[in-house]
Amino acid sequence: MKLKVLAGAAIAAAAVAMSGCMMYPGVIQDKSKPIDQNGYTVVGPEVSSTEFQAHVFGFALSDLRGSPSRRLYKQCLGQAPGSDALIEYALDTKGVNLSWLGLQWFTLTGTPVKTNK
């Protein structure tokens, strides 16, 4: 009986040790172009887009079309007709990692603008 309790506790401890939840900021600095302070016009209110990715043993299962931040950037610009850049933007990433399965949610939020050329 005592051995079964110890084995169960060891399995539970291993499961907790091999799983986790984390949140960390991401960057999309290469996705927007440099804009002078007075070189743009705000096109609309703040826009936001979210995407999900799943990984099994480190290999992506969901969307294989490249960078999630790049797709999110294009989706945000598509929400504000006439916009060609985002200002005051942030990319938030949330994830849950089990030993073999990883789940990630990406959310990009920013203000759409039209640059003055």
Q: What's the pLDDT score for residue 25?
A: 46
Name which residue leads in pLDDT, 25 or 86: 86
Geometric angle at alpha carbon 87, from 83 and 89, rounded to 5°: 115
pLDDT in tens, 27-63: 555 455 667 778 889 999 999 999 988 888 877 776 6
Asked whether the beta carbons of 71 and 61 are under 8 A apart, the reply is no
Instruction: Kindly report the backbone phi and psi dihedral angles of residue 63, in degrees, each rounded to the nearest multiple of 5, phi listed first.
Output: -95, 120
pTM of the full structure: 0.67
> How many Cα atoms within 13 Å fall on the side-chain side of residue 88?
9
- pLDDT tens by residue, 67-114: 777 888 889 999 999 998 888 888 888 888 888 888 888 899 999 999
Cα 41 from Cα 112, distance rounded (Å): 9
* Rounded to 5°, angle at Cα 94 from 105 and 51: 15
Where would I find the beta strands (DSSP E) of 29-100? 40-42, 47-56, 59-60, 85-97
Contact between residue 49 and residue 76 where contact means Cβ atoms under 8 Å apart: yes
